[in-house]
């Protein structure tokens, strides 16, 4: 009779125990998936850090190349200044020689010996002029070498910008994965709360079962064997309850560990964002330095044009087939973006910024219109 009374309660308890085990296995699977996503996020973060280190090394190499190009530009400017001083002395000597020649022609018959000396001086003047032309040829060679170095520096800067964009895309992917992990953690916490609710229901069911077991015990006082069996089943049920509580505590500990690892990943992402901001600042500084170098080079080019004009070797520009070329160009933006071109236009060395871009700016890698800014 006691067995018939306890059998329904026992079946109900076993059914509730099986349901609880199924929920525990499902929670374990969710925690395992969260652990796998954490490992994947850590790998992405390590890859992003490695790419940032490579980009920093490439940026240092670009800075060294830029410093070398600036040094060459300063040396070329000093050579041009020295050449200008020598040319001024040559002009003074030429004017004095022309005065002596005019005086010698007035008294040619009386001063043939003096005329011979003036011819010798004129030959020396021609030799000095040839030497000046040789110096101009050397300056042109130095200018060509400087252009080659500047193009190499520009290519290095473009490579650094492409790697910077790749790093920023990787950082965005890491941020998306962090958001996905946070959503998974919230879902896990919701499931843990549901599991706690089910645990409370199981405890209530256990209390009801204990009450029914007490009633069964009062009825089983006449049958000692049935009572011992019921006590054994109650002990087994309590041990299963304790094991379930320990498993739940372990699951909560694992969930807390996953939350801590997600916080570490968020800190890593914040550090990567800070490094990205520092790289952006460094790129802006490099861009400003490149503009200063371009301004110095343009001033050197202006001085070279003036030197050619003074020597009488500046030929009028030949008609170019590119004059008929149509391309998109923003005149005001171009002059504001490149102060060296604006100075050349104000000095009437160039007619407009469009002419500078068509003749020089395109080969130097300058932009004719504003470039759309990159957005994060």
35-89 residue pLDDT tens: 888 888 888 878 878 887 888 888 888 788 888 878 887 887 888 788 888 788 8
Tell me the mean pLDDT in the region 320-333. Answer: 70
Mean pLDDT of the chain: 76
pLDDT of residue 325: 57
- DSSP conformational letter for 347: T
Domain extent, residue 353, equals 320-371
Q: Are 115 and 108 in contact (CB under 8 A)?
A: yes
pLDDT of residue 336: 93
Last residue of a domain, one of 266, 289, 312: 289
Do 87 and 206 reside in the same domain of the chain? Answer: yes
- Which residue in the block uniquely carries the two structure tokens 């371009």? 294
Q: Are 97 and 121 in contact (CB under 8 A)?
A: yes
- Transcribe 154-179 into DSSP letters: HHHHHHHHHHHHHHHHHHHHHHHHHH
For 58, residues 6+ apart whose C-beta sits below 8 A from its C-beta are: 156, 159, 160, 163
65: closest CA among 155, 141, 162, 161?
155
Q: Does residue 182 form part of some domain?
A: yes
Q: What percent of the chain has pLDDT over 90?
A: 6
Rounded Cα distance, 237 and 15, in Å: 12
Do 278 and 334 reside in the same domain of the chain? Answer: no
Do 78 and 39 reside in the same domain of the chain? Answer: yes
pLDDT band at 13 (very low <50, low <70, confident <90, very high): confident
Do 179 and 244 reside in the same domain of the chain? Answer: yes
- pLDDT above 80 (res 366): yes
- pLDDT above 90 (res 342): yes
- pLDDT above 50 (res 314): no
Do 35 and 81 reside in the same domain of the chain? Answer: yes
Do 94 and 237 reside in the same domain of the chain? Answer: yes
pLDDT band at 22 (very low <50, low <70, confident <90, very high): confident
Q: Does residue 376 form part of some domain?
A: no
- Neighbouring CB atoms inside 10 A of 156's CB total 19
Q: Does residue 150 form part of some domain?
A: yes
Q: Which two tokens stand for residue 153?
A: 């520096």
**Range 274-280 contact pairs with CB under 8 angstroms and sequence separation of 24 or more:** 275/52, 276/52, 276/164, 276/167, 276/168, 276/171, 279/52, 279/55, 279/56, 279/59, 279/164, 279/167, 280/164
**pLDDT tens profile 202-250:** 678 777 767 776 775 666 576 677 667 667 776 877 888 888 788 777 7
Helix (H, G, I), strand (E, B) or coil at 15: helix
- φ/ψ (deg, to 5) at 371: -90, 130
Helix (H, G, I), strand (E, B) or coil at 252: helix
Do 109 and 180 reside in the same domain of the chain? Answer: yes
Rounded Cα distance, 252 and 258, in Å: 10
CA 63, 66, 68, 71 dihedral sign is: negative
Residue 297: which H helix or E strand, with range? helix 224-311
pLDDT band at 258 (very low <50, low <70, confident <90, very high): low
What string of H, E and C letters represents the secondary structure of 42-91? HHHHHHHHHHHHHHHHHHHHHHHHHHHHHHHHHHHHHHHHHHHHHHHHHH
Rounded Cα distance, 361 and 296, in Å: 15
- φ/ψ (deg, to 5) at 62: -60, -40
Do 173 and 24 reside in the same domain of the chain? Answer: yes
User: Measuring CA to CA, how many Å separate 151 from each of 65, 144, 163, 233?
Assistant: 11, 11, 19, 87
333: closest CA among 362, 347, 353?
353
pLDDT band at 343 (very low <50, low <70, confident <90, very high): very high
pLDDT of residue 214: 73
Rounded Cα distance, 367 and 294, in Å: 13
Q: Does residue 308 form part of some domain?
A: no
Do 282 and 367 reside in the same domain of the chain? Answer: no
Q: Does residue 106 form part of some domain?
A: yes
Q: Does residue 365 form part of some domain?
A: yes
Helix (H, G, I), strand (E, B) or coil at 40: helix
Classify residue 277 by burial, with Cβ atoms within 10 Å: 0-12, 13-18, 19+. exposed
Q: Does residue 303 form part of some domain?
A: no
* Higher pLDDT, residue 317 or 64: 64
pLDDT of residue 318: 45
How many domains is the chain partitioned into structurally? 2
CA 8, 10, 13, 15 dihedral sign is: negative
- pLDDT above 90 (res 335): yes
Do 177 and 326 reside in the same domain of the chain? Answer: no
Do 345 and 202 reside in the same domain of the chain? Answer: no
Tell me the mean pLDDT in the region 117-139. Answer: 77
Start-to-end CA span in the chain (Å): 76
Q: Does residue 98 form part of some domain?
A: yes
Residue 134: which H helix or E strand, with range? helix 112-219
- pLDDT above 70 (res 117): yes
pLDDT of residue 226: 61
Do 211 and 358 reside in the same domain of the chain? Answer: no
Rounded Cα distance, 358 and 103, in Å: 50
Last residue of a domain, one of 268, 289, 310: 289
């Amino acid at each position: 009779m006691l067995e018939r009374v306890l059998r329904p309660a026992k079946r109900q308890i076993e059914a509730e125990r099986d349901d609880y085990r199924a929920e525990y296995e499902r929670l374990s699977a969710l925690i395992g998936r969260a652990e796998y996503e954490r490992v994947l996020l850590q790998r992405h973060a390590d890859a992003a850090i490695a790419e940032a280190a490579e980009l920093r090394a490439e940026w240092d190499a670009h800075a060294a190349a830029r410093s070398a190009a600036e040094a060459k530009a300063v040396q070329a400017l000093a050579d041009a200044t020295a050449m200008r001083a020598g040319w001024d002395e040559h002009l003074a000597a030429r004017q004095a020689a022309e005065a002596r020649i005019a005086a010698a022609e007035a008294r040619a018959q009386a001063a043939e010996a003096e005329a011979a000396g003036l011819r010798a001086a004129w030959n020396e003047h021609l030799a000095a002029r040839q030497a000046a032309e040789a110096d101009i040829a050397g300056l042109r060679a130095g200018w060509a070498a400087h252009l080659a170095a500047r193009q190499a520096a520009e290519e290095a800067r473009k490579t650094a910008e492409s790697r910077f964009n790749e790093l920023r895309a990787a950082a965005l992917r890491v941020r998306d994965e962090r958001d996905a992990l946070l959503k998974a953690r919230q879902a896990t916490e919701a499931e843990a709360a549901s599991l706690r609710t089910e645990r409370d229901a199981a405890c209530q069911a256990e209390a009801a079962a204990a009450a029914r077991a007490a009633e069964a015990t009062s009825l089983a006082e006449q049958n000692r064997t049935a009572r011992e069996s019921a006590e054994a089943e109650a002990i087994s049920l309590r041990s299963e309850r304790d094991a379930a509580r320990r498993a739940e505590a372990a699951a909560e500990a694992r969930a807390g560990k996953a939350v801590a690892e997600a916080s570490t990943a968020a800190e890593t992402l914040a550090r990567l964002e800070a490094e990205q901001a520092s790289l952006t600042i460094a790129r802006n500084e490099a861009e400003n330095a490149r503009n200063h170098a371009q301004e110095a080079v343009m001033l050197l080019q202006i001085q070279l044009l003036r030197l050619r004009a003074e020597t009488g070797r500046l030929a009028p520009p030949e008609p170019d087939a590119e004059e008929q070329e149509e391309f998109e160009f923003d005149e005001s933006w171009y002059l504001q973006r490149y102060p060296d071109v604006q100075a050349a236009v104000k000095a009437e060395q160039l007619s407009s910024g469009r002419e500078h871009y068509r003749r020089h700016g395109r080969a130097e890698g300058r932009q004719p219109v504003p470039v759309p800014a990159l957005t994060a």
